[in-house]
């Protein structure tokens, strides 16, 4: 390169698993798109460019494009991750993208994590259970600052589904709640505002589709984009539930 | 043609829509929520910084109450706000925080004892009261006198949205995800629901409801550089506009956030500056005190954004590969603070810039951030012109932000508005007013019209590319209708936007499929977005003054004499290329806080003749009530409590104001 | 144990029939049996590898198990009892673990595909456990059955003859590999599964556990192979006298 400051951009090859279940003629296949890399290119930028310039039918989901909403989980070179915050410079020249498994496929890279998560929330009743009425005019109940932070730590899950897609158990057994679900139980369990007892939680996750189904593969823990302490939380819930089961 | 009936149709599953639906549901009405995406992915999740409510628990928030919050909000709005609505809001905000606390939001709490914080670039030790230990704490945010912004680390919106969404699930409220309302069904005076497109199958369904609530958030994506999510395209406001009956208020009032990371535009929270972060220029000089000696980095957003752009224009910016920017410095806060309290910021810098904000400076430049404008409603959230149509949240303009909203006031507004509007919607549904008699013919007419429009796009032999038009619109808006506005640039923008609108009627698609088809979506949305863009640009062109976020270089003064009014935009003719603008006066004689100096920014403005008179009146009332408590004085100045739903009336308890 | 009777917000948990406690117990049992077997295998290694210290050492330990030093007389039946207990735990453990196996080809293929795609160590290690467990089901059973039925035929010569002249060594090589990999991974998994030794920084702890796991496996495999080599060596040397029992020098004949 003779010109000062001009950078040589790599020529990327992005292979995408294409399939549109809406279309009876569609068959799953890999399609490769060439793309010139740009500075600071994320997969969000790359995919949009492909859609704008090469194939208008390509389906994928982005919302916040800032790594906080959990919409853009996909398999990036085989591993679940958030596409919007993946810089292409951290990947090789050949990149493979595929939709997250386990979830219902909408088309190409777009999957219905929302439906799965809602079902999970309904099943695990992921809300505060109490029958103490609050008077909104009165001062709030106190909480130890440390405890509030601990709850938030577990509340940070964005329901992206990466942990589910990374879990061998979830792939083999459709009804497994996944790390995301077990983490929710841990979150509500340590929250004193939720009046459910261990016995109640046992009803929700005390079986092989629940916490006892987890085989400690820890794929969930290792891919979680929010770095939630899934390993320790699953262990925590397991200990509590086993204690419950021994009574 | 499928028809779905419900009592309340809520378009939008963000904080505002969810809360309104919960309110109606709890009063026994059936509610259905529509959302482009799963509700927990709504852009409310992006709010990092926090939610304002005058709890006054933190030591730096001591003495805070509704009055202080009210003043801050009205000043922030540059007197554009409806002061009664602001009063309703500040009185309900503490209740909203407390409700969310009961629903599980892990608000950060006051820790008694000494704590080191950075204020104004200095490390100082503050001591929290024993009595406040364990109560909800607050941080500092721009434009506020007290530390009032409640937060959960830097994932406030996320925690709120998840708690709210889970409440909706607890109340068994169905959410029809991946659906889009593309037109409102109405007869010119009454709204009956919406025509809704299933984004996966492409099917059109008619939803009929007693009350329809627009809670679709902002329209930031009419700009190229924006902190908004890619779904924030303003479709709710647009379909209201397309009724030709409902009006959009103050569309030219668009806020720019000082710290979007450069060049991606992803927001790093105001909390960075609230916690003590500084803005540095190309020479690593802290420049804000030169312009705003009093508030410095924490002046209101419009002021800080403008000063940054001004400084860059003066050649003092830092030069990067993609252009000029300034630096945000949070290294002084220390790694522990950054990793604990500003973790999302750290992640963003790490993932999108490859820098570590605990040791590196962060390149930032203002980016479009918030739309003060939206569907114009009265204090109940109902459109003044289209009965049965309600709106709340960022999509609405019941007008508590005026021409500039304060950081932290928006998520607070979404929840408060959801609470209040939800009650009024329920009241409406409970009254005979809400009974609807609608012929299926009318429904079919709307359904067929929308179906025909989509068919026309798919079968179009047009040559225009939807993406190209959209990008041109976004560029125009960012360059000509941005932070600094001039008559010429605005005129040029309005002209070209009109051309684009005409071109957009001749779009051809490469991918001609009716079911899930991203290009088709871009095509029909860009037609609507252009109308919104025109409302913004044309409104800005007409408004020959500067107020809040709307800054005209050729008219730098705020002009209360001629412009203390709200812009109302309507779009009566389908083939029009410009909105019809009308203006609604703000009545100074009913204001609790007549126009004055905001406390920061330029001090010169043109007074309204009524201001002095009202000021005198207020003095008199205050003197005559010298011994009365603040509630009595407030009540004498401007009554508002009767406007609130009964459920949310009443005072708020504080450490210093215990309720019996 | 009180049943919470005051749930709201549509929970209605109390209306449901009480969920079976069995899964909790089975999960516990699976781990307990695994732990027992893993610890037993450590002891087993000490016992078997005593041959490395010499024939006398192993002889002594054998006699100890037969109760010689307690009763002054050998009761090989005692060994059978121990074997029976271990065999029982072994079968229980295998039975419990079987529940986790892919139950059909579809699941098997899904998991394999998943493992290949993820390239994730802990996931792959689970598959190692399944394979080795499956192998042990047969190999271990054969070994245990022999031990159960011939408890008296243990000793420096008897064992060596079995290893070499009865052609047990190929089975032992496989079994050794299987059991050490399986047990090593199993113990590591127990720690992460129950949150043992988590400490302040569980991620760091996990890395350390992983290292320790590999370390233990290597040490045990080395010991195991050395012992096996020792048996083979003795076995070859002793191959023309198969059936003869070892008598330590200067010790009175224990078998009468
Ligand atoms: C990066 C960022 C940070 C922010 N930080 C703060 C902060 O710290 N404090 C603060 O107070 N405010 C903050 N704000 C502002 C605040 O987050 C938003 O104003 C607020 O969350 C808007 O909420 P909402 O419920 O009105 O809309 P949203 O949360 O945007 O929800 C809109 C909903 O409408 C749906 N929708 C849209 N169109 C349609 C359609 N046609 N049909 C069906 N559904 C539709 C969407 O799917 C979505 O569910 C921030 C904003 C941004 C962009
Ligand atoms: C027939 C023989 C065996 C089979 C089929 C078998 C199978 C398995 C399987 C599949 C697992 C994984 C279970 C899970 O993921 O939940 C497992 C776990 C384990 N196995 Fe075995 N195994 C056998 C013998 C042994 C032996 C001999 C040992 C002793 C070294 C052992 C020790 C362990 C341990 C410690 C665990 C971890 C337990 C847990 O996760 O709860 N296993 N076994
Ligand atoms: C109480 C039960 C057991 C007894 C008494 C026992 C005894 C023995 C003895 C005496 C040997 C030496 C060789 C021989 O005599 O054939 C041996 C070797 C071996 N045993 Fe066991 N065993 C038992 C259980 C197990 C189990 C459960 C396993 C694994 C599943 C196992 C795996 C092995 C292996 C791999 C060897 C060869 C090891 C080497 O030489 O390094 N044993 N055992
Ligand atoms: S636990 Fe982590 S990986 Fe799983 S859904 Fe939540 S954020 Fe995503
Ligand atoms: S990957 Fe799956 S098996 Fe358990 S530890 Fe995680 S949920
Ligand atoms: S688009 Fe929101 S996390 Fe990627």
In chain C, the domains with their CATH numbers are: 26-241 (1.20.1300.10)
Q: Which ligand 1 atom sits closest to the C-alpha of B15?
A: 25
Q: What span, in angstroms and rounded, lies between the C-alpha atoms of B623 and B636?
A: 12
Whether C9 has its CB under 8 Å from any CB of chain B: the answer is yes
pLDDT at B201: 94
Q: Which tens digit of pLDDT belongs to each residue from A109-152?
A: 999 999 999 999 999 999 999 998 899 999 999 999 999 999 99
Which range (B178-192, B264-278, C203-217) has the least confidence? B264-278
**Cα atoms in the 13 Å half-sphere on the side-chain side of A91:** 26
Chain B residue whose CA is closest to A86: B351
What is the average pLDDT score of chain B? 94
Q: What pLDDT shows up at residue B143?
A: 76
B203 in A contact zone (CB under 8 Å): no
Ligand 6 centroid–CA B594 distance in Å is 44
User: What's residue B494's pLDDT?
Assistant: 98
Higher pLDDT, B15 or C17: B15
Q: State the pLDDT at residue B597.
A: 86
Nearest to A131 by CA among B114, C12, C47: C12
pLDDT tens-digit series, residues B14-64? 999 999 999 999 999 999 999 999 999 999 999 988 999 999 999 999 999
Chain A residue with the nearest C-alpha to that of C107: A172
Ligand 4 close to Cβ of residue A206 (< 6 A)? no
pLDDT at A38: 87
Where are the alpha helices (H) located in B143-228, listed in sequence order? Answer: 156-170
The answer to whether residue B379 is catalytic is no
Q: Residue B32's closest CA among B162, B211, B182?
A: B211
- The CB density around residue C176, as the number of other CB atoms within 10 Å, is 21
Touching subunits of A (3+ CB pairs, under 8 Å) are B, C
User: What is the average pLDDT across A39-53?
Assistant: 92
CA–CA dist A119, A103 (Å, integer): 12
- pLDDT, average across residues B527-550: 97
pLDDT class for A2, splitting at 50, 70, 90? very low
DSSP assigned state of B226: B
From the CA of C180, which ligand is nearest?
Answer: 2
Bridge partners, B371 (sequence order) = B254
Helices (H), B543-601: 560-563
CATH class belonging to A125-246: mainly alpha
Whether the predicted pLDDT of A207 surpasses 80 = yes
Helix (H) or strand (E) holding B456: helix B440-459
- Domain borders along chain A are 3-111, 125-246
Top pLDDT among B302 and A230 is at A230
Does the pLDDT of residue B521 top 50, yes or no?
Answer: yes
pLDDT tens digits, one per residue of B379-423: 999 999 999 999 999 999 999 999 999 989 999 999 999 999 999
Cβ-based contacts of A59 with chain B (< 8 Å): 516, 518
Residues 6+ apart with CB under 8 A from B498: B534, B577, B578
Q: Quick one: pLDDT band at residue C8, thresholds 50, 70, 90?
A: very low
pLDDT for C10 beyond 50: no
Tell me how close the Cα of C179 comes to any Cα of chain A, in angstroms: 19
CB-based contacts of C253, cutoff 8 Å, min separation 6: C247
Q: Which of B257, B325, B379, B552 is catalytic?
A: B257
Joined tokens for residue C171:
């089975």
User: What's the confidence (pLDDT) of residue A7?
Assistant: 61
For the segment C226-248, the average pLDDT, to the nearest whole number, is 94
Q: Is B178 assigned a catalytic role?
A: no
Nearest beta carbon to residue B45 from set A69, A113, A145: A69
**Mean pLDDT, residues B532-544 taken together:** 98
C interface mutation test: which of B99, B103, B170 has the most C CBs within 10 A?
B170
Q: What is the mean pLDDT of residues B517-538?
A: 97
> Mind telling me how many Å the CA of C135 is from chain A's nearest CA?
20
Please list every residue in chain B whose beta carbon sits closer than 8 Å to the beta carbon of residue A70. Answer: 40-41
**Contact status of A133 with chain B (Cβ, < 8 Å):** no
* Banded model confidence at residue B436, pLDDT cuts 50, 70, 90: confident
Q: Do C25 and A246 touch (CB under 8 A)?
A: yes
Tokens of C30: 């699976």
Note whether A40 contacts B263, CB cutoff 8 Å: yes
Going by their DSSP bridges, the two strands B374-376 and B362-371 should be labelled as unpaired
pTM of the model: 0.94
Q: Do A212 and C16 touch (CB under 8 A)?
A: no
Say yes or no for a CB contact (<8 Å) between A57 and B352: no
Give the pLDDT score at C252. 54
Ligand 6 atom index nearest CA of A67: 3
pLDDT of A1 reads: 36
pLDDT of amino acid B188: 93
Ligand nearest to the CA of B37: 1
Give the closest residue to B407 by CA, choosing from B161, B33, B73, B126: B73
Cis amide leading into B263 (omega within 30): yes
A107 contact B CB<8A: yes
- What average pLDDT does range C183-194 have in this prediction? 96
B467 to chain A: closest CA residue: A52
Q: Is A69 in the pocket of ligand 5 (CB under 6 A)?
A: no
Q: Both ends of chain A: CA-CA distance in Å?
A: 74
Q: Which of C3, C195, C206 sits opposite A236 (nearest CB)?
A: C195
- CATH class for the domain made up of A3-111: alpha beta
* Residue to test with chain A: of B108, B230, B457, most A Cβ within 10 A: B230
Nearest CA in chain B to C9: B170
Per the CB < 8 Å rule, is C11 touching A196? yes
Question: Which residue, by CA, sits nearest to atom 31 of ligand 3?
Answer: C140
Q: How far is the CA of B40 from the centre of ligand 6 (A)?
A: 12
pLDDT tens profile B625-653: 988 999 999 999 999 999 999 999 999 99
Interface of B with A in 12-51 (CB under 8 A): 37-43, 45-46
Q: What is the per-residue pLDDT for C251?
A: 57
β-partners of residue B569 are B248, B581
Q: Own/partner pairs for B115-123, CB < 8 Å, 24+ apart?
A: B117/B275, B117/B276, B118/B275, B118/B276, B118/B332, B118/B333, B119/B276, B120/B276, B120/B296, B121/B276, B121/B278, B121/B286, B121/B332
B257-280 pLDDT, tens per residue?
Answer: 999 998 888 998 877 888 889 999
pLDDT at B1 over 90: no
Measured between CA atoms, the residue of chain C closest to residue B166 is C9
Q: How many residues are listed for chain A in this entry? A: 247
Q: Chain C contacts of B171, Cβ < 8 Å?
A: 9-10
Kindly determine whether residue A200 and residue C193, on different chains, have CB atoms separated by under 8 Å.
no
ipTM surpassing 0.90 = yes
Q: What is the mean pLDDT of residues A158-176?
A: 97
Asked if A216 and C193 come within 8 Å (Cβ–Cβ), the reply is yes
Mean pLDDT over residues B177-202, rounded? 97
| Per-residue pLDDT at B142 | 74
Q: Do B102 and A128 touch (CB under 8 A)?
A: yes
User: How many angstroms separate the CA atoms of A215 and C128, rounded?
Assistant: 13
Instruction: Assess contact for B204 and B195: CB atoms under 8 A.
Output: yes
Interchain contact, A203 vs C193, CB within 8 Å: no
Which of residues 139 through 178 in chain A touch B, CB cutoff 8 A? 139-145, 148-149, 151-152, 155-156, 158-159
Is the CB of residue A117 below 6 angstroms from any atom belonging to ligand 4?
A: no
Burial of A165 (0-12, 13-18, 19+ CB in 10 A): buried
Give the distance (Å) from ligand 1 centre to CA of residue B161. Answer: 10
Q: Is any Cβ of chain B less than 8 angstroms from the Cβ of C8?
A: no
- With beta carbons less than 8 A apart as the criterion, state whether C216 and C184 touch: yes
Cβ of C154 closer than 6 Å to ligand 3, yes or no, is yes
Pick the residue from chain C with its C-alpha nearest to A203.
C19
Residue C14: what pLDDT?
Answer: 54
Q: Give all chains having 3 or more CB-to-CB distances under 8 Å with chain C.
A: A, B
Q: State yes or no: pLDDT of C162 exceeds 90.
A: yes
Lowest mean pLDDT among A203-212, B462-471, B594-603, C181-190: B594-603
Residue C9 with chain A: CB contacts under 8 Å: 127-130
Q: Nearest-CA neighbor of B75 among B608, B601, B617, B597?
A: B597
Query: What's the pLDDT at A5?
Result: 44
- Give contacts of A130 with chain C, Cβ < 8 Å: 8-9
Cα B361 to the chain's mean position, in Å? Answer: 29
């Amino acid at each position: 390169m003779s010109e000062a400051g001009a950078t040589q951009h790599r020529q990327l090859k992005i292979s995408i698993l294409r399939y549109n279940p809406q279309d009876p003629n569609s068959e799953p296949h890999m399609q490769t798109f060439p793309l010139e890399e740009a500075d600071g290119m994320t997969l969000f930028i790359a995919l949009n460019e492909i859609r704008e310039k090469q194939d208008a039918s390509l389906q994928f989901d982005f919302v916040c494009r800032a790594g906080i909403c959990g919409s853009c989980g996909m398999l990036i070179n085989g591993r679940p991750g958030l596409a919007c915050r993946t810089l292409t410079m951290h990947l090789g020249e050949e990149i493979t993208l595929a939709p997250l498994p386990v979830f219902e496929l909408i088309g190409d890279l777009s999957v219905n994590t929302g439906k799965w998560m809602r079902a999970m929330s309904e099943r695990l009743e992921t809300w505060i259970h109490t029958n103490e009425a609050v008077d909104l005019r009165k001062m709030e109940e106190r909480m130890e600052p440390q405890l509030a932070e601990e709850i938030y730590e577990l509340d940070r899950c964005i329901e992206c589904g990466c942990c589910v897609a990374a879990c061998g158990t979830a792939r083999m057994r459709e009804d497994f709640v996944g790390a995301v679900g077990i983490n929710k139980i841990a979150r509500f369990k340590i929250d004193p505002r939720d009046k459910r007892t261990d016995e109640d939680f046992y009803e929700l996750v005390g079986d092989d589709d629940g916490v006892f189904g987890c085989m400690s593969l820890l794929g969930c823990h290792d891919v979680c984009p929010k770095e939630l302490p899934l390993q320790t939380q699953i262990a925590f819930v397991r200990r509590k539930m086993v204690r419950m089961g021994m009574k | 043609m499928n028809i779905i009936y419900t009592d309340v149709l809520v378009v939008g599953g963000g904080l505002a829509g969810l809360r309104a639906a919960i309110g109606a549901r709890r009063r026994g009405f059936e509610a259905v929520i529509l959302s482009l995406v799963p509700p927990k992915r709504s852009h409310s999740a992006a709010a990092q910084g926090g939610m304002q409510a005058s709890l006054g628990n933190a030591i730096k928030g001591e003495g805070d109450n509704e009055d202080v919050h009210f003043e801050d909000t009205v000043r922030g709005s540059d007197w554009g706000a409806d002061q009664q609505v602001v009063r309703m809001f500040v009185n309900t905000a503490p209740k909203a925080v407390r409700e969310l606390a009961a629903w599980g939001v892990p608000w950060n709490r006051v820790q008694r004892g000494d704590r080191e914080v950075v204020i104004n670039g200095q490390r100082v030790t503050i001591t929290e009261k024993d009595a406040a230990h364990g109560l909800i704490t607050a941080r500092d945010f721009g434009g506020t006198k007290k530390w009032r912004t409640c937060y959960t680390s830097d994932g406030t919106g996320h925690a709120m949205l998840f708690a709210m969404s889970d409440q909706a699930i607890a109340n068994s409220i169905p959410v029809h995800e991946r659906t889009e309302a593309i037109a409102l069904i109405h007869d010119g005076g009454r709204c009956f629901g919406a025509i809704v497109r299933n984004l996966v199958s492409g099917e059109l369904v008619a939803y009929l409801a007693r009350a329809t609530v627009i809670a679709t958030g902002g329209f930031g994506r009419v700009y190229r550089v924006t902190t908004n999510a890619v779904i924030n395209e303003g479709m709710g406001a647009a379909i209201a506009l397309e009724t030709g009956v409902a009006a959009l208020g103050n569309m030219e009032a668009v806020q720019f956030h000082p710290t979007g990371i450069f060049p991606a535009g992803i927001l790093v929270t105001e909390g960075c500056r609230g916690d003590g972060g500084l803005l540095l220029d190309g020479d690593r000089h802290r420049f804000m005190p030169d312009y705003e000696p009093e508030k410095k980095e924490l002046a209101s957003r419009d002021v800080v954004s403008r000063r940054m752009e001004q400084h860059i224009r003066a050649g003092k910016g830092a030069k990067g590969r993609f252009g000029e920017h300034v630096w945000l410095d949070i290294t002084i806060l220390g790694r522990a603070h950054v990793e604990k309290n500003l973790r999302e910021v750290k992640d963003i810098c790490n993932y999108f810039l490859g820098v570590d904000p605990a040791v590196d400076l962060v390149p930032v430049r203002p980016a479009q951030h918030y739309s003060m404008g939206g569907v114009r409603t009265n204090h109940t959230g109902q459109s003044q012109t289209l009965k049965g149509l309600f709106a709340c949240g960022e999509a609405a303009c019941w007008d508590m932000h005026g021409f500039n909203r304060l950081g932290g006031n928006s998520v607070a507004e979404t929840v408060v508005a959801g609470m209040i509007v939800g009650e009024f919607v329920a009241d409406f549904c409970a009254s005979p007013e809400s009974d609807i008699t609608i012929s299926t013919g009318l429904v079919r007419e709307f359904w067929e019209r929308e179906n025909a429009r989509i068919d026309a796009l798919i079968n179009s032999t047009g040559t225009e590319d939807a993406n190209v038009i959209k990008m041109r619109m976004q560029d125009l808006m960012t360059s000509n209708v941005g932070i600094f506005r001039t008559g010429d640039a605005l005129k040029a923008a309005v002209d070209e936007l009109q051309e684009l609108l005409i071109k957009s009627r001749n779009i051809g698609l490469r991918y001609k499929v009716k079911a899930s088809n991203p290009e088709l979506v871009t095509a029909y949305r860009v037609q609507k977005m252009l109308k919104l863009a025109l409302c913004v640009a044309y409104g800005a062109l007409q408004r020959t003054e500067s107020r809040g976020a709307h800054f005209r270089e050729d008219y730098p003064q705020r002009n209360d004499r001629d412009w203390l009014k709200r812009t109302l935009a309507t779009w009566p003719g389908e083939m029009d290329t410009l909105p019809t603008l009308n203006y609604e006066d703000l009545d100074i004689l009913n204001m609790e806080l007549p126009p004055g100096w905001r406390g920061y920014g330029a001090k010169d403005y043109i007074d309204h003749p009524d201001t002095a008179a009202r000021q005198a009146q207020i003095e008199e009332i205050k003197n005559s009530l010298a011994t009365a408590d603040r509630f009595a004085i407030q009540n004498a100045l401007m009554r508002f409590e009767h406007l609130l739903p009964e459920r949310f009336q009443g005072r708020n308890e504080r450490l210093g104001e215990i309720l019996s | 144990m009180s049943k919470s009777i005051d749930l709201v917000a549509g929970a209605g948990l109390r209306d449901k029939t009480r969920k079976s406690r069995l899964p909790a117990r089975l999960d516990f049992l699976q781990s307990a049996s695994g732990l027992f077997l893993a610890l037993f295998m450590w002891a087993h290694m000490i016992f078997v590898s005593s041959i490395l210290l010499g024939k006398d050492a192993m002889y002594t330990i054998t006699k100890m198990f037969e109760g010689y030093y307690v009763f002054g007389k050998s009761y090989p039946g005692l060994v059978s009892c121990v074997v029976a207990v271990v065999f029982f735990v072994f079968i229980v453990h295998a039975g419990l673990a079987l529940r986790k196996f892919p139950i059909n080809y579809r699941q098997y293929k899904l998991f394999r595909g998943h493992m290949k795609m993820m390239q994730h160590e802990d996931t792959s290690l689970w598959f190692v456990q399944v394979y080795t467990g499956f192998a042990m089901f047969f190999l271990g059973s054969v070994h245990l059955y022999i031990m159960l039925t011939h408890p008296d035929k243990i000793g420096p010569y008897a064992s060596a003859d079995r290893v070499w002249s009865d052609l047990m060594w190929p089975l032992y090589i496989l079994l050794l590999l299987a059991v050490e990999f399986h047990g090593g991974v199993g113990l590591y998994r127990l720690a992460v599964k129950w949150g043992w030794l988590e400490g302040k920084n569980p991620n760091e702890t996990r890395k350390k556990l992983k290292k320790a796991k590999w370390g233990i496996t290597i040490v045990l495999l080395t010991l195991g192979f050395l012992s096996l080599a020792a048996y083979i060596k003795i076995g070859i040397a002793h191959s023309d006298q198969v059936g003869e029992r070892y008598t330590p020098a200067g010790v009175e004949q224990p078998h009468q």
